[in-house]
Amino acid sequence: MPHLDPTERQVVFKIVYFGPGMSGKTTNLLFVHRTLMDKYRGEMLVLDTEKERTLFFDFFPVSLGKVQGYSLKFHLYTIPGQIYYEASRKIILKGADGVVFVADSRLNKLKDNIRMFRLMTENLLEHGVDPDSFPMVLQYNKRDCPPVIRTGVLERELGLNGIPVTESVATTGRGVMRTLQLISKEIIRKFKIG
Amino acid sequence: MKLPGRESSEKIREHLLKLVRRSEAVTALIISREGVCVSKAGNVESLNSTALAALVAGMFAATREVANIVGEEQFSILLQQGEKRHIHISLLGQRFMMVIVFEDYRRIGRVRHEARTAGSEIAALLEGRREQEEKESKDISMPEFREYALNLIDRIFVVGEEEDAASGPD
């Protein structure tokens, strides 16, 4: 459920970029932050380790404007992808309204993607969320790093039917805004009150 | 206490202002557990309250996990002591937190006292307006909301032509 506040007239949706370590979650957010005009974006927080890996989360708010008198906002978060940060991931995923699963397209990362997707599904179930009806986009990132996993492989391995899929190179920005557009629309389409 | 949304909002701010004045704090904020700032008072310009709210909510959630590990359900107060500034965070019911930023650590006793006093008043106001908010939120016309929101998304999250061609159809 989003943060819906009739008194302050704002509705805030939380989007979490989930995926294995070094798949490009922070790079996605950095590109979105660079691309958006100043009036739509807030300051970006990057909480990383010395090796530039996300320690807790990255975050920035986006304000799109007024809809029916309400300020429409999206808060974008990433999770730390390293396997030992399981507790942090669970905390950040809590209260999410939608997820972008940033998969690492490199062929030798297939197992990591599958493992991380399954962990995400378990986390969602623990938070009482049904992953099958939850707004989600699967982004095949790092399409510029051959040999790559063919699109369709992850969907088949994970039994995903009808999930929106994008291909991207987050370092250049290819596919990044499209992914954000798709997940935001998924969230809005599935948004219900009460 | 049940007050119309706007009125309760003003009351909450009054309580926060009084707290800031009495404890000589820099600022005081109310944030939701989802990490959204819903009210603030004091010197709010010098702090990025949006980022602060997201971080404090994450920190509090992490602390709850720590509490569970040591056999507690949750810690109701968090205190962060710095060189020049300190933060006192307390839970307000199940959905909100109060964050007080202050400078003189010798005033910690006063901060605690004011946090307790204002906290119970504000928690009652927040709880009281919950029902009202649920009713008001039902006034949103979903088809219109969706249409306008989708339109904004198309307009602001712009997909470049090259990117569009590379990513395939919608």
Q: Is the pLDDT of residue A49 over 70?
A: no
A55 contacts chain B (CB < 8 A):
no
Report the pLDDT value the prediction gives residue A84, as an integer from 0 to 100. 74
Predicted confidence band at A160 (pLDDT cuts at 50, 70, 90)?
Answer: very high
The shortest CB-CB distance from A175 to any of B129, B152, B167 is to B167
Q: Residue A166: beta bridge partners?
A: A139
Q: Is the peptide bond before A147 cis (omega within 30 degrees of 0)?
A: yes
Residue of chain A with shortest Cα separation from B65: A87
Residue span of the structural domain in which A53 resides: 3-190
The pLDDT assigned to B94 comes to 84
pLDDT, average across residues B110-123: 95
pLDDT above 90: percentage of residues in chain B: 54
Degrees (nearest 5) of the Cα angle B157, A22, A179? 20
Residue by residue, what is the 3-state secondary structure of A63-121? EEEEECCEEEEEEEEECCCCHHHHHHHHHHHCCCCEEEEEEECEHHHHHHHHHHHHHHH
Return the CA Rg of chain B.
20
A64 vs B39, B51, B152: nearest CB? B152
For tokens 């019911």, name the residue.
B93
Tell me the pLDDT tens digit for each residue of B67-112.
988 999 888 899 999 999 999 999 998 889 999 999 999 999 999 9
Contact A177, B160 (CB under 8 A): yes
Point out the residue among A12, A91, A185 whose CB comes nearest to the CB of B153. Answer: A185
**What is the pLDDT, as a whole number, of residue B170?**
45
Tokens 């007050």 label which residue?
B3
Does A181 contact B140 at a Cβ distance shorter than 8 Å? no
Among A98, A13, A88, which Cα is nearest to A58's? A88
What pLDDT score was predicted for residue A194? 65
Q: Does A125 touch chain B (CB under 8 A)?
A: no
- The helix/strand/coil state of A193 is coil
Return the pLDDT at A134.
97
Which run of H or E residues covers position A99?
A: strand A98-104
Residue in A6, A9, A49 with CA at minimum distance from that of residue A26? A49
Half-sphere exposure of A139 (CA within 13 A, CB side): 30
Cβ distance of A178 and B164 shorter than 8 Å: yes
| Residue found under tokens 């009125």 | B7
Q: Rounded to whole angstroms, how far apart are CA atoms B77 and A151?
A: 48
Give the residue on A whose Cα is nearest the Cα of B39: A8
On the 0-12 / 13-18 / 19+ scale of CB atoms within 10 A, A53 is middle
Question: Is the pLDDT score of A32 beyond 50?
Answer: yes
Contact (CB, 8 A) for A168 and A143: yes
pLDDT of amino acid B128: 84
Domain count across chain A: 1
Complex-level ipTM:
0.92
Map residue A5 onto helix, strand or coil.
strand
B129 contacts on A by Cβ (under 8 Å): 7
Q: What is the DSSP letter of A79?
A: -
Does residue B3 surpass a pLDDT of 60? no
| Residue A122, both tokens | 């378990």
How does pLDDT run across A103-141, given as a tens digit for each residue? Answer: 999 999 999 999 999 999 999 999 999 999 999 999 999
Question: A167 to chain B, minimum CA–CA distance in Å?
Answer: 6
Q: Which of A67, A73, A94, A105 to mutate to test the interface with B (most CBs of B within 10 A)?
A: A67
Of B71, B70, B72, B129, nearest to B95 by C-alpha is B129
* pLDDT bucket at B48, cuts 50 / 70 / 90: confident
- The CATH number of whichever domain residue A62 belongs to comes to 3.40.50.300
Per-residue pLDDT tens digits for A60-103: 999 999 999 999 999 999 998 877 778 888 889 999 999 999 99
pLDDT-derived band at A52, boundaries 50, 70, 90: low
* pLDDT band at residue A7 using 50, 70 and 90 as cut-offs: confident
The reply to whether residue B166 touches residue A175, judged by beta carbons under 8 angstroms, is yes
CB A29 within 8 A of CB A44: yes
The beta-carbon neighbor of A6 closest among B133, B150, B160 is B133
How far, CA to CA in Å, does B168 sit from each of A41, B89, B147, B155?
27, 48, 23, 19
pLDDT per position as a tens digit, A162-192: 999 999 999 999 999 999 999 999 999 999 8
pLDDT band, residue A147 (cuts 50/70/90): very high
Is B72 within 8 Å of chain A by CB? no
Residue B161 has pLDDT above 70, yes or no: no
**pLDDT at position B165 over 60:** no
C-alpha–C-alpha distance, residues A13 and A76, integer Å: 9
Domains of chain B: residue spans and CATH: 5-158 (3.30.450.30)
Q: Provide the token pair at A183.
A: 């997940």
Residue A62 to residue A43: CA distance in whole angstroms: 9
Q: Are A120 and A18 in contact (CB under 8 A)?
A: yes
What is the rounded distance in angstroms from the CA atom of residue B46 to the CA atom of residue B37?
15
Which residues of chain B make contact with A56, given a CB cutoff of 8 A? 58, 62
Instruction: Kindly list the residues from chain A whose CB atom is less than 8 angstroms away from the CB atom of residue B136.
Output: 6
Say what the pLDDT of residue B164 is: 53
Mark residue B85 as left, alpha or beta (left: phi above 0; alpha: psi -120 to 50; beta: remaining): beta
Interface membership of A157 toward B (CB under 8 Å) = no
Tokens of B167: 């990513």
